[in-house]
Amino acid sequence: MKYGMNLLLWTGELNDGLMPILEKLKSFGFDGVEIPIFNTELDYAAWGKRLDAIGLERTAVTVRNVDDNPISPDAAVRRKGIEGNKRMLDCCAAAGVQTVVGPYHSALGHFTGSGRTNDEWKWGIDSMRETAEYAGKVGVLLGIEPLNRFEVYFLNAQADAAEFCRQVGHPSCRMMYDTFHSNIEEKSIRKAIHDIQDMVCHIHISENDRSTPGAGNVRWDENFDAIQEIGYDGWLVIEAFGLALPELAAATKIWRRMFDNELTLAQEGLAFMKSQVEKRRK
C-alpha cells in the first residue's frame, strides 16, 4: 500500500510556494502526492525532478469541461476532449506520474436534465479508448472516476464505471474508487468495492464533509474491510478541500472551514489511513 496526498487542498496549479508543504508531507511519511494538471503549459519535467529530489512519487488529477466534453453530441467538441486528455497525458509522462485520475470521461458540472443516453455511452467509450491507446504509448495508467449525481450524470455508480472500463477494453484504462462519492451513491459499500475489484487501480480516502478522514460519517469499517477483502494494495490518497483557493472552494461547494489547518488534516489523515490498514493485517 502507498499513501498519498492530493494537492488540491492547497492549490490548483504547481508553484514554488508549495515546496515547504511538499517537504512537510514527506516528513510526515507520505509516499507521494497527487498533482493537479489543469494548466498544461507548466514545465512538468522540472517538477518531476523536484519531487524526485524530495522523495515523493506522483499521481495526478484532471477534469474535462463543457467546451471539451468527450461525450458531447458535437464531434468537434469530443475531439477537443480527446486532444485535451492527450496533452494532459504528455504532462503526466513528463512529470513521472504513474496514474491519472478524475472525471475526464465527461464534463464536470454540466447537466442535460436527464440521465446518460446510449449515444453518450458509445461516444464515451470511443473517446476513452483513443485516450487509453495514447496512455499506453506514454506509460501512464488511467483511473477514471465516477462522481456523485450532483457533479456529473454520466458515471455515478461504481459498477457502471467498471463496466465502462471493461467495454473500453484497454489495459491502460481502469477506474478509481472514492469514499466520498460512494457514500452518496451506493447502497452497499462492500458490494460496490467487490463489484469493481477487477478494474480498480486507485482509491481516494475522502470524508463525507471533505475534511479530515476519520472525523466524519463515512462507513470506514465497511470501506477498509472491503479494500482488504479484494486484496487491494495500491494508492490510498487523501482528497480533501478547504477555503485556501476561492475557485476550488466554489467548485467543491465548500462554504465553511471544517478543520484547523491543512497540514494537520494531512498528518491526522495519514495516521488514520495507516491505522485502518494495519489493524486489518493483524
Say what the pLDDT of residue 243 is.
Answer: 84
CB 28 within 8 A of CB 269: no
Say what the pLDDT of residue 197 is.
Answer: 98
Nearest in space to 36 (alpha carbons), one of 239, 270, 209: 239
Mean pLDDT by 10 residues, the chain (282 residues): 97 96 98 97 98 98 97 98 98 98 97 97 98 98 97 97 98 98 98 98 97 97 98 97 81 86 97 97 81
pTM for the whole structure: 0.96
CB 132 within 8 A of CB 168: yes
* Long-range contacts of residues 156-160, Cβ cutoff 8 Å, at least 24 apart: 156/181, 156/185, 157/185, 157/186, 157/192, 158/182, 158/185, 158/186, 158/192, 158/193, 158/195, 158/196, 159/192, 159/195, 159/196
3-state SS record for 96-133 = CEEEEEECCCCECCCCCCCCCCHHHHHHHHHHHHHHHH
Say what the pLDDT of residue 183 is.
Answer: 98
Name the burial class of residue 26, with classes exposed (0-12), middle (13-18) and buried (19+) by CB atoms within 10 angstroms of its CB. middle
Q: Which residues pair with 64 in a beta bridge?
A: 107
Q: Which amino acid is at 196?
A: I
Nearest in space to 223 (alpha carbons), one of 236, 212, 210: 236
Backbone phi and psi for residue 4, each to the nearest 5 degrees, phi listed first = -130, 170
In the chain, % helix, strand, coil (3-state, to 5) comes to: 45, 15, 40
Q: What's the rounded Cα separation, in Å, for the pair 84 and 90?
A: 10
Q: What's the rounded Cα separation, in Å, for the pair 30 and 32?
A: 6
